[in-house]
Amino acid sequence: MATKKNNTIKLKFDSTRNLAPAPESKSAAKIEPQYDLFINGKFEKPQNKKYFATINPATEEKLSMIAEANTADVNKAVVAARTAYDKTWKKMPPAERAKYIYRIARMIQERAREFAIIETLDGGKPIRESRDFDVPTAANHFFYYAGWADKLEYAFPNRRTEPLGVAGQIIPWNFPLLMAAWKIAPALACGNTVVLKPAENTSLTALKLAEIIQEADLPPGVVNIITGAGTTGAAIVNHADINKIAFTGSTEVGKIIQRAIAGTNKKATLELGGKAANIIFDDAPLDQAVEGVINGIFFNQGHVCCAGSRLYVQESVFKEVVRKLKDRLETLIVGDPMDKNTDIGAINSKAQLDIINKYIKIGQQEGAEMYQPSCAIPKKGFYCRPTIFTNVAQSNRIAQEEIFGPVLAIQSFRTDDEVIEKANNTPYGLSAGVWTDKGSKIFNLTTKLRAGVIWANTFNKFDPTSPFGGYKESGYGREGGLHGLNAYVNII
Amino acid sequence: MATTEKRLEVLKTYKIYIGGQFPRTESGRYYVATNSKKENLANVCLGSRKDFRDAVVAARNAFGGWSGRAAFNRGQILYRIAEMLEGRKTQFIDELIKQDATRTQAENEVNLCIDRLIYYSGWCDKFQQLFSSVNPVASSHFNFSVPEPTGVVAAIAPQGDSLLGLVSVIAPIIAGGNTCIVLASATKPLCAVTFAEVLNSSDLPGGVVNILTGKVAELVPYFADHMDVNATVFCEADAAIQKLIKEKSALNVKRVVLYDKVKWANASGQSPYFIMDLQEIKTTWHPIENIGGAKAGY
């Protein structure tokens, strides 16, 4: 193997660094062989008696059978939600409402380990992430919004609020439990009732949440959780007695929803796709920046709408950053999501793996230079090596389109103005990252980047108190924090 | 040299306002604005799709500068607009009377417009404080959220009056740092054009407000489906047009703001919530170093 003359030493990442397996146990979680629809406080069979399989993407083994809700089931859920809204929930003293939501938060915390295991089995994300991020953040979200229920008059200066009514909520497969929390918690706190549909690939933790909601004695119908695919979602969107649609998912589907509800008075919040720029200036702490880039694009296998999928590196440190990135890629552990050492787990589905592989091919065809580490990946299950592309042009599809996988497109820049222009040159505007040691430069960048969340010298941080949501085609409305209340009230 | 002949009045050509210039419509088309007595008031520009697209270019070019100005400066400019309007009050009153208002109605409308501009002038550097937050995140980060303008707004002004609706829609849009293209009332277009002249002498940079005259039904599809417009505002109750705007706005996920229930002449016709309708919330994170702490700040 020819070696190029290089003043830096090529690091060796061989067998000496292999860690012993540290698998989490499946036995701490209970998955039923079959799940029904959670309507009006009870688990009910779907009217057409249809069920579909949900599998573990890491092994392709079947985990359970999930009910498929049709239009009649959706209608039943909406009727239950409307009845609960009129008869119970909107009349309940806000402080009492709060206590129910607190109760849900506590019960998630109590069963955190079980939730983490199921999340990882059903979705393929590393257990470290579901244990340390998804589940605790979901519980915290309920805890945070619970406290708002009886304090809403402080949130909107000089105005009163009223709830919207019944909220139809459709959530994606990348953070199943967390997205359910993001949707349900503020809706309940503001006095709305809910019909929620998880993504068809990842219904299990939402159904586990339904068990908790039942156990918490929440009045029947306040939260209804129904499962199914796109047609079930469409039935929610098109139901005449729903007042609000909250959707997290692709920009493509978001636009379909915006059109579908055009002739109605339904309100909507849309949290859609992204193609975030992560920008490294030459004065940045490079090791930390590289760590941030890795976290930015490989967190949750890159199935993150705000993933830092475009990297812009200032020319003078370009080579160094790329070398450090490649070194770091070699140390990433790709494989069994249930192993506590795993950094990158399984791709969520075969369909998503196909999309990612399609883009990897497109990137190469468009002339970009691909690099993947040499790590082994399991034979069974859906896996993708962490992938970076250099020699990328701004017009390349891998730099323009959301891939939703562990694929990073790297470009260089010289001046601040140039990188602002490039970073903003996208229809999306969800998030962005800036790495520099210079405070004034941070604020120059953070004010000029047209995106809803800007991480400076960090990336992919989330908190219940921190509003999240996009500019431009990344959607509208905010989730989290004070501003997240806006999505679930009429200001009067 | 006394003369008994009446002096010939100089009539005004009513133009549109794009990028700080007063062109006639590129289409060369016109329509005749009339009043209830069927008097011809003016040959008004029948604005075209191309006029709108030119105006969007002007609005986009002006956005960076306008949104980047100090909020205090924007406040001063809105105040200046009010000053200019006050100075040309009689002209507006005359035009409103020509367009069927009584003198009292006309005076009230102009006065209210002036006061409303002053009201929003004051908000320019205050609403951000009211609607911002510092968020107490659980990790070692400093985190705050602030409103920022949505961008280029395409607005169809209330069609029922000549000046009040127009001013009530424009003021919160630009107070918040957006730029806009506004379609005037089709039946009462005179004051909109004259208001453009006020804007043009108020230190408002060209392109921040662009005013077109023309037909709603013809132009509304273009307002809603232009890819470089970030939001559409519509103030009428016409359900078919509302639906069309919402559908077409989905093309690039425009924000759609409907003001069909607002009574502009009331106190409820002004509030900082109108500004917030066309704001985005931006959240910024930065680590807090934890010197001597066990955890890294990153």
Domains of chain B and CATH, by start: 30-287 (3.40.605.10)
Q: Tell whether A9 is covered by a domain.
A: no
CA dihedral A171, A173, A177, A183 (to 10 degrees): -10
Q: What does the alpha-carbon distance between residue A210 and residue A151 come to, in Å, rounded to a whole number?
A: 26
Angle between helices B71-87 and B164-175 (to 10 degrees): 160
How are beta strands A475-476 and A387-390 bridged, if at all?
unpaired
For residue B115, the distance in angstroms to the closest alpha carbon of chain A comes to: 20
pLDDT of residue B289: 84
pLDDT of residue B160: 95
Q: Do B281 and A466 touch (CB under 8 A)?
A: no
Same domain for A407 and A486?
no
**Pick from A158, A461, A478: which is nearest to B285 by CB?**
A461
Same domain for A232 and A336?
no
Q: Do A461 and B139 touch (CB under 8 A)?
A: yes
Give the percent of chain B with pLDDT over 90: 94
* Interface test mutation site (partner A, options B285, B290, B295, max chain A beta carbons within 10 A): B285
Q: Tell whether A46 is covered by a domain.
A: yes
Same domain for A290 and A340?
yes
Same domain for A362 and A337?
yes
Same domain for A344 and A374?
yes
Q: Are B27 and B20 in contact (CB under 8 A)?
A: no
**Pick from A159, A258, A463: which is nearest to B253 by CB?**
A258
Catalytic residue numbers of A, as ranges: 271, 305
Which helix (H) or strand (E) segment is A295 a member of?
helix A286-298
Q: Which residue of A has its CA nearest to B268?
A: A492
Q: Which residue of B has its CA nearest to A482?
A: B133
Tokens of residue B40, six digits = 């011809």
**Pick from A262, A469, A473: which is nearest to B246 by CB?**
A262
Q: Which residue of A has its CA nearest to B247?
A: A259
Q: Which residue of B has its CA nearest to A256?
A: B250
Please give the distance of CA B231 from its chain centroid, rounded to a whole number.
12
Average pLDDT (B3-14) is 86
Tens of pLDDT along chain A (492 residues) come to 444 555 556 666 665 567 889 999 999 999 999 999 999 999 999 999 999 999 999 999 999 999 999 999 999 999 999 999 999 999 999 999 999 999 999 999 999 999 999 999 999 999 999 999 999 999 999 999 999 999 999 999 999 999 999 999 999 999 999 999 999 999 999 999 999 999 999 999 999 999 999 999 999 999 999 999 999 999 999 999 999 999 999 999 999 999 999 999 999 999 999 999 999 999 999 999 999 999 999 999 999 999 999 999 999 999 999 999 999 999 999 999 999 999 999 999 999 999 999 999 999 999 999 999 988 899 999 999 999 999 999 999 999 999 999 999 999 999 999 999 999 999 999 999 999 999 999 999 999 999 999 999 999 999 999 999 999 999 999 999 999 999 999 999
Cβ burial of A275 (10 Å; 0-12, 13-18, 19+) is buried
**A120, A378, A405, B297 from A25: Cα distances, Å:** 11, 19, 27, 32
- In chain A, residues with a C-beta closer than 8 Å to the C-beta of B284 are 446, 453-456
Q: Do B143 and A465 touch (CB under 8 A)?
A: yes
**Pick from A251, A456, A465: which is nearest to B284 by CB?**
A456
Tokens of residue A301, six digits = 């296998």
Same domain for A53 and A164?
yes
Task: Give the count of Cβ contacts less than 8 A between chain A and B.
Answer: 121
Cβ burial of B222 (10 Å; 0-12, 13-18, 19+) is buried
Q: Do A466 and B145 touch (CB under 8 A)?
A: yes
Q: Tell whether A118 is covered by a domain.
A: yes
Close Cβ partners of B46 (under 8 Å, ≥ 6 residues apart): B25, B27, B29, B30, B31, B213, B214, B215
**Secondary structure class of A61 (helix, strand, coil):** strand
Q: Do B143 and A455 touch (CB under 8 A)?
A: no
Q: What type of residue sits at position A367?
A: G
Q: Tell whether A452 is covered by a domain.
A: yes
Q: Which residue of A has its CA nearest to B281?
A: A452
Q: Do A262 and B130 touch (CB under 8 A)?
A: no
**Pick from A466, A472, A483: which is nearest to B143 by CB?**
A466
Same domain for A416 and A296?
yes
pLDDT of residue A5: 54
For residue B34, the distance in angstroms to the closest alpha carbon of chain A comes to: 33
Q: Do B286 and A159 touch (CB under 8 A)?
A: no
Same domain for A143 and A47?
yes
Q: Do A270 and B253 touch (CB under 8 A)?
A: yes
Tally of CB atoms within 10 A around B49: 16
Q: Do B135 and A491 touch (CB under 8 A)?
A: no
- In chain A, residues with a C-beta closer than 8 Å to the C-beta of B138 are 140, 463, 465
pLDDT of residue A56: 98
Domain that holds residue A449: 274-456
For residue A42, the distance in angstroms to the closest alpha carbon of chain B comes to: 35
pLDDT of residue A1: 44
Q: Tell whether A13 is covered by a domain.
A: no
**Pick from B145, B247, B287: which is nearest to A467 by CB?**
B145
Tokens of residue A127, six digits = 């257990």
Q: Do A456 and B273 touch (CB under 8 A)?
A: no
Q: Do A258 and B286 touch (CB under 8 A)?
A: no
Same domain for A64 and A208?
yes
Please give the distance of CA A355 from its chain centroid, rounded to a whole number.
18
Tokens of residue A89, six digits = 């929930």
Q: Do B141 and A461 touch (CB under 8 A)?
A: yes
**Pick from B137, B250, B287: which is nearest to A255 by CB?**
B250
- In chain A, residues with a C-beta closer than 8 Å to the C-beta of B249 are 258
**A228, A241, A486 from A179: Cα distances, Å:** 16, 23, 17
Q: Structurally, how many domains does chain A consist of? A: 2
For residue A289, the distance in angstroms to the closest alpha carbon of chain B comes to: 9
Same domain for A34 and A106?
yes
Q: Tell whether A17 is covered by a domain.
A: no
Q: Tell whether A146 is covered by a domain.
A: yes
ipTM of the complex: 0.95
For residue A64, the distance in angstroms to the closest alpha carbon of chain B comes to: 36
**Secondary structure class of A238 (helix, strand, coil):** coil
Q: Tell whether A18 is covered by a domain.
A: no
Q: Do A465 and B135 touch (CB under 8 A)?
A: yes
Same domain for A204 and A292?
no
Q: Which residue is associated with the tokens 């273009």?
A: B222
A268: which strand partners?
A245
- In chain A, residues with a C-beta closer than 8 Å to the C-beta of B136 are 465
Q: Which residue of A has its CA nearest to B254?
A: A472
Categorise residue A367: left if φ over 0, alpha if ψ from -120 to 50, beta otherwise: left
**Which string of DSSP letters, residue by residue, matches A148-183?**
TTT-GGGTSTT--EEE-SEEEEE--SSSHHHHHHHH
Tally of CB atoms within 10 A around A151: 13
Q: Do A481 and B285 touch (CB under 8 A)?
A: no
Q: What is the pLDDT of residues B73-104, one digit of tens each?
A: 999 999 999 999 999 999 999 999 999 999 99
Q: Give the B-side interface with A, CB within 8 Å.
A: 130, 133, 135-139, 141, 143, 145, 148, 150-151, 230, 239, 242-244, 246-247, 249-253, 255, 271-273, 280-287, 298
- In chain B, residues with a C-beta closer than 8 Å to the C-beta of A296 are none
Same domain for A264 and A359?
no
Residue A292: give its domain's CATH number.
3.40.309.10
Q: What type of residue sits at position A196?
A: L
**Secondary structure class of A216 (helix, strand, coil):** coil
Nearest Cα residue to A181 out of A156, A198, A166: A198
pLDDT of residue A18: 75
Q: What is the band of B182 on the pLDDT scale with cuts at 50, 70, 90?
A: very high
Tokens of residue A57, six digits = 């993407």
* Interface test mutation site (partner A, options B283, B289, B298, max chain A beta carbons within 10 A): B283
Strands of the sheet with A223-225, listed across from one edge? A42-44, A37-39, A223-225, A193-197, A166-170, A244-248, A267-271, A475-476
- In chain B, residues with a C-beta closer than 8 Å to the C-beta of A482 are 133, 135, 145
Q: Do A465 and B136 touch (CB under 8 A)?
A: yes
Q: Do B252 and A472 touch (CB under 8 A)?
A: yes
Q: What's the CA angle centered on A235, arms A233 and A239, to 5 degrees?
A: 125
Residue A79: give its domain's CATH number.
3.40.605.10
* Interface test mutation site (partner A, options B232, B284, B290, max chain A beta carbons within 10 A): B284
Nearest Cα residue to A161 out of A169, A150, A153: A153
Using only C-alpha atoms, what is the Rg of chain A?
23
